Amino acid sequence: MSAKNCAIDWIVNSRNRIINISDKLWDLAELGLIEVQSAKLIGDELEKHGFRIEREVAGMPTAFIATWGEGTPIVGIMGEYDALPGLSQKKIPRQEPIEHGKPGHGCGHNVHGASGMAAAIAVKVAMEKCGIGGMVKFFGCPAEENFSGKVFMVRDGYFNEVDAVISHHPNSMNEVPLRSCLAVNSIKFHFYGKASHAAASPEQGRSALDAVELMNIGVNYLREHIVQDARIHYVVEKGGDQPNIVPSYARSWYYVRAPEKAQTDFIHNWVLDIARGAAMMTRTQLKTEFLEGSYNLIPNNTISEVIVGNMREIGLPEITGEDLEFAKEIAKTITTETKTAELKKSKRPAWEKLVNKLVDDEIPDPWGEHEVSHGSTDVADVSWQVPTVEFGTATWILGTPAHSWQAVAQSGVGIGHVSLVFAAKVMASTVIDLLTNKESLVKAKDEYRKRISGRKYQAPIPQDHKPPLNIWNE
């Protein structure tokens, strides 16, 4: 039996256990940096299968690395398990939270963590049975959604010795993209003023909320003068206590994004100037709090083609029975206009053919070279260290927006389970290819060096900057 077949057999035979772990992660739905039970669940399962576990890496209690094997090559697999705030949703095809305001897996990271875990174990089984040398590492990566846990792991050198990294992310399409993403900086602005009676003594007050609002106005005028693909968005987290008290404290939280890290930093510095100006206009004090940043993604066509080849060799799973009926009910909640807009925005070749389809039933060639996705991911920082590819499988019906209740629901039921198992097979097969085919690995590294083209990566967070572990307590 070939090593790939050995790995796939293990996944098939362990299907129920893999799905149970994914569903448990879905139930836990823990926020970034506090995914304590989720990280333990995955780490314990890997440890049970003989992996050496290093926990609490890079200053994060929920980050860990699981290793099996010796020597080289070393191929990494990444898994995420953080949920999103406010997206609680039952496993039903209509919007109904389990508990209002609670988190939910709106990006399918329950599937993400379980698929990577399953692939790592399957590769270990194949390596043992087939005498394959080298090492497989599973990187348990917290807080992708908000605090870029991988950036701290990259900064602290945990990817330095790895030869290639594979990751899987739930999607509405089967895709192995060659597009990049936006670099991002995340920063909070704290304004401190002076409280007073807003009616009796307004002249004695210095409104921190005025500073927040003036800063927002300035940034909104800035939008006309930044590169087209840049994005700036914010929330006001604190704006005062009641109308008859001049707010002595107010706080906003900004994301600044652009196609290149240098562009992001340029806009970021301009936003800082606007914040300082707002403080001067209101005679308040400003404190800035840099939370995290990440780079733009470096694609790798060599590994992407290996992944597509394995997808096609394994073959797409079929959605049938109750799973199909659930998918059809979800489709009723997504308008044709929304679906068409999502497909068009993807820029997938011949996307028009998908408008009348329920589920993606194709495996296209790698696509998106020279295109930029307008989201951001800390996978990008890993891609600046080592050849890295994150592929997608159809976990949700076509047109499903990420970070939606529909994504939460589908990530916890049959359509999500089918995608999870398929992705684990693809990932395991690809890792085995990279462990056993020296030419592919050399080619992937050569391509990586050409794409980097002499550019230097500098960690977007200072060496003494620590993960904001208490962020959810503020």
Enumerate the domain spans of the chain.
Answer: 3-181+296-452, 183-294
Write down the architecture of domain 183-294 according to CATH.
2-Layer Sandwich (3.30)
CA 286, 269, 223, 288 dihedral sign is negative
**pLDDT tops 80 at residue 356:** yes
- What's residue 68's pLDDT? 98
pLDDT band at 474 (very low <50, low <70, confident <90, very high): low
pLDDT digits (tens, 9 = 90+) for 414-447: 999 999 999 999 999 999 999 999 999 999 999 9
pLDDT band at 394 (very low <50, low <70, confident <90, very high): very high
pLDDT band at 153 (very low <50, low <70, confident <90, very high): very high
Task: Give the fold, CATH level 3, of 3-181+296-452.
Answer: Aminopeptidase (3.40.630)
- What's residue 169's pLDDT? 97
Instruction: Tell me the C-alpha distance between 276 and 285, whole Å.
Output: 9
**pLDDT tops 70 at residue 97:** yes
- What's residue 472's pLDDT? 74
pLDDT band at 242 (very low <50, low <70, confident <90, very high): very high
DSSP structure class, residue 319: P
**pLDDT tops 80 at residue 471:** no
Instruction: Tell me the C-alpha distance between 448 and 446, whole Å.
Output: 5
**pLDDT tops 80 at residue 473:** no
pLDDT digits (tens, 9 = 90+) for 276-334: 999 999 999 999 999 889 999 999 999 999 999 999 999 999 999 999 999 999 999 99
The residue among 258, 294, 263, 273 whose CA lies nearest residue 388 is: 294
DSSP per-residue codes, 431-447: HHHHHH-HHHHHHHHHH
Mean pLDDT, residues 98-113 taken together = 97
- What's residue 95's pLDDT? 97
Torsion over CA of 106, 107, 111 and 116, rounded to 10 degrees?
-150
Using alpha carbons, list the distances in angstroms from residue 124 to 11, 69, 120. 12, 8, 6
- What's residue 359's pLDDT? 97
**pLDDT tops 70 at residue 338:** yes
Residues in a beta bridge with 140:
64, 79
Q: Are 434 and 163 in contact (CB under 8 A)?
A: yes
Mean pLDDT, residues 206-218 taken together = 98
**pLDDT tops 70 at residue 197:** yes
Torsion over CA of 298, 301, 302 and 303, rounded to 10 degrees?
70
Q: Which spans in 223-284 are helix H?
A: 261-282
- What's residue 89's pLDDT? 98
The number of helices, as runs of H, and strands, as runs of E, in the chain is 14, 10
CB-neighbour burial class of residue 7 (10 A; exposed 0-12, middle 13-18, buried 19+):
buried
**pLDDT tops 70 at residue 3:** yes
Q: Are 426 and 168 in contact (CB under 8 A)?
A: yes
- Tokens describing residue 207: 């409104």
